[in-house]
Structure 1
């Protein structure tokens, strides 16, 4: 049952504002799930109203999904409004694209972006559902999950740089918790690198992630170290505004 749910979520995660419609064949190819399995999943989700099909046999998100996420989206809009000044300041300071992500119904979703004026092309628009193991945002969220939850995370091999095994992921997540930021070196899309940091609420829960994105040519050692510090500062400032009191460092 868990594996079926994971495969179903993998299918739903394909739909975003950049590519809102898919055929069964395209979904099977993109997710690596067998075509007949995708077909059965899609038909089940269609009968429940989570997907709808048109005359060309292309599928779109259905009304049941919109209704289920309405409350989450309202929460996202409120937090994004609060976060925007911090995102704008970070974009101004780094000169690079800044994105803001939250977990919606158990998956990391980009809900906001401040674009750079410098040459930079992104294949995805805001609204994209991210993987947990091949994006900086995703790593931030999964690093702060319980071990049992981490074990359920599905690997997404999008590029030759994507993490492909539990040991590599575990080592990377240890680094995220130790350093306070997560990196992505062309692991989701060739030509895109990123560094992200966690935003916490008053209770200390990670409720969002802030990231700086840049092409590899502008993400050398010096740049990424500078961006990492800037991301940590922005995330820390927003967390403090939300009521989070960071523990004092022991001397």
Structure 2
């Protein structure tokens, strides 16, 4: 890996955590210094900082074990794969009920990051491959997640009054109009994208919640605009039901 922008302190902290993970409650500060070749003052600073961050815990006998914050981060890491696995299983049924492709995504700042999709055969392939990003204000997925943020948080994500990029003539262009729509999304529990991301396509999305009720992702169903009026109620009901099944709590 290119080390032009490498941060040595982070590398040392990583080495310390790996050593502690191999021998929890088995190594003192002096042991870690000797094993890793890090001088005592640097090791003291590293351990002191990591203890304050709950990355490590100093036991009564002076040895170290891993802290609760690492357990939280590790749990979150595995949860994301659990959610994708559950999505694939549940959405594979729902897509046949709606006869449309279903997407799973999470919010990354002011963008939507696609995580997975269950696709129905179609002459047009949706540009929602896992790893792709789209502006959150232009998608039902984005609005379904943004709606649960505080207005000040939304304003911080969208610093300008005029939203960009504008993907179609129907894309929201005003931050205040976005905030107004997000209020409607909170009341309804789902969001629409009416040709706002791609001309000719409409979409409905609903939030997926974690164990404490927080929004962790969203799912959506996209379809041709000419099918929207016919399928809108069915798609909305099924997407909301799927989101509830995928949610914890």
TM-score when normalising by structure 1: 0.63
In the other structure, the counterpart of 1:235 is 243
Which runs of structure 2 are paired with 1:188-203 in the superposition (5 Å)? 188-203=197-212
In the other structure, the counterpart of 2:89 is 85
In the other structure, the counterpart of 2:224 is 215
Q: Of the two, which has the highest radius of gyration?
A: 2
Go from structure 1 to structure 2 and tell me whether the alpha carbon gap of 1:104 and 1:165 turns closer, same or farther (over 3 Å shift): closer
Question: In the comparison of the two structures, how many residue pairs are matched?
Answer: 175
Cα distance in 1 for partners of 2:243, 2:152 equals 26
Judge conservation of contact 1:95–1:118 (CA < 8 Å) in 2: no
Cα distance in 1 for partners of 2:192, 2:97 equals 19
- CA offsets 1:78-126 (integer angstroms, 9 cap, x no match): 3201222221121011000000012357742110011112433323422
Go from structure 1 to structure 2 and tell me whether the alpha carbon gap of 1:73 and 1:198 turns closer, same or farther (over 3 Å shift): same
- CA offsets 1:33-53 (integer angstroms, 9 cap, x no match): xxxxxxxxxxxxxx748xxxx
In the other structure, the counterpart of 1:147 is 151
Selected match of 2:234 from 226, 230, 233: 226
Counterpart secondary structure, 2:205: strand
- CA offsets 1:3-31 (integer angstroms, 9 cap, x no match): xxxxxxxxxxxxxxxxxxxxxxxxxxxxx
Cα distance in 2 for partners of 1:230, 1:204 equals 20
> Root-mean-square deviation (CA), in Å?
2.4
Moved more, 75-84 or 211-220: 75-84
Q: Offset at 1:76?
A: 2.8
Q: Offset at 1:151?
A: 0.6
Go from structure 1 to structure 2 and tell me whether the alpha carbon gap of 1:208 and 1:219 turns closer, same or farther (over 3 Å shift): same
TM-score when normalising by structure 2: 0.64
What 5-or-longer segments of structure 2 have no aligned partner?
Answer: 7-72
What 5-or-longer segments of structure 1 have no aligned partner?
Answer: 1-46, 50-69, 245-251
Q: Offset at 1:223?
A: 1.3
